[in-house]
């Protein structure tokens, strides 16, 4: 018999998972400090969501991403609220491919990152186009402007911009998470629900 959503969430949220999800939400909100300190032009604001998706499960990842966006809105950036569907998709997709074992092989991680980026672009395009008119006050606005100036509609321009930048961004995020988790001690992983997503049970790195 298939389990209800409540049961699936309860399975994922064991004792250790609760503080870990909280940590990952905080990580989403503060990782910008790390990249800023190193002067690296990356956002990585979904890295916590991806970590939860891999180590805990998809439902927890959806909550992690949504909560991070909610808190970002609460801290003075209300536009983040509108992208909750995007992070929900990131959490769900990543959790599903993690369960399928994609985070055990680097090439599957790369493929997953690219697919995730495409999916994120598809989901965020209508939001950016309809609500923001394609203007996010970011460097990527020039890409949108270019696509519009050569005759594409607003929606298509935003989509093409997303397809140009999101897969690369998500690929990097996925790969960083892969490198972070692949050598984690098994005795620690075993305490989180998604331990089997990192390595085949019975194998140690």
Partner 1 sequence: MTFRIDLSAKFAFVVLLWVCAFTLPWEYQAALCLLVLAGRFAVPSFRPQSERSSAAFSNFLLYSMAVAFFVILLNSILIRGGSTYGTILGFMLHQEGLFFGLKTASRLLLLTYSILVFFISTPLKELIRFLQQKGLSPSFTLILLLTLHFLDHLPARIHQIFLAQQARGAPVDAGIASRSKALLSLLSPLVLSSIVESIDRGTALELRGFLNRPNDANRVAASTAGWNLLTMLLLLISTIILLAAIYRWLLG
In the complex, the residues that contact partner 1 under the rule CB under 8 A are: 9-10, 13-23, 25-27, 29-31, 33-35, 37-40, 47, 51, 55, 63, 67, 71, 73-79, 81-82, 130-137, 141, 145, 148-149, 154, 176, 179-181, 184, 188, 191-192
CA nearest to 196, candidates 59, 100, 63: 100
CB of 194 to partner 1, least distance (A): 12
Decide whether 2 or 33 has the Cβ nearer to partner 1.
33
CB atoms near residue 120 (< 10 Å): 24
CB of 33 to partner 1, least distance (A): 6
Decide whether 18 or 168 has the Cβ nearer to partner 1.
18
CB of 137 to partner 1, least distance (A): 6
């Amino acid at each position: 018999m298939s389990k209800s959503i409540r049961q699936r969430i309860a399975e994922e949220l064991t004792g250790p998972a609760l503080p870990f999800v909280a940590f990952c939400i905080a990580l989403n909100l503060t990782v910008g400090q790390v990249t800023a300190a190193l002067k690296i032009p990356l956002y990585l604001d979904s890295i916590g969501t991806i970590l939860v998706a891999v180590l805990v499960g998809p439902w927890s990842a959806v909550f992690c991403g949504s909560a991070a966006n909610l808190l970002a809105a609460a801290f003075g950036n209300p536009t983040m609220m509108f992208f909750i569907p995007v992070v929900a998709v990131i959490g769900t997709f990543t959790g599903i491919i993690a369960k399928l074992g994609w985070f055990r092989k680097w090439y599957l991680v790369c493929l997953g990152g690219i697919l995730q980026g495409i999916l994120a672009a598809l989901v965020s395009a209508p939001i950016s186009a309809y609500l923001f008119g394609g203007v996010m006050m970011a460097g990527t606005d020039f890409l949108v402007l270019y696509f519009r100036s050569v005759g594409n509609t607003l929606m298509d321009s935003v989509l093409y911009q997303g397809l140009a930048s999101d897969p690369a961004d998500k690929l990097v995020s996925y790969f960083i998470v892969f490198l972070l988790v692949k050598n984690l001690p098994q005795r620690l992983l075993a305490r989180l629900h998604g331990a089997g997503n990192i390595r085949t049970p019975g194998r140690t790195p």
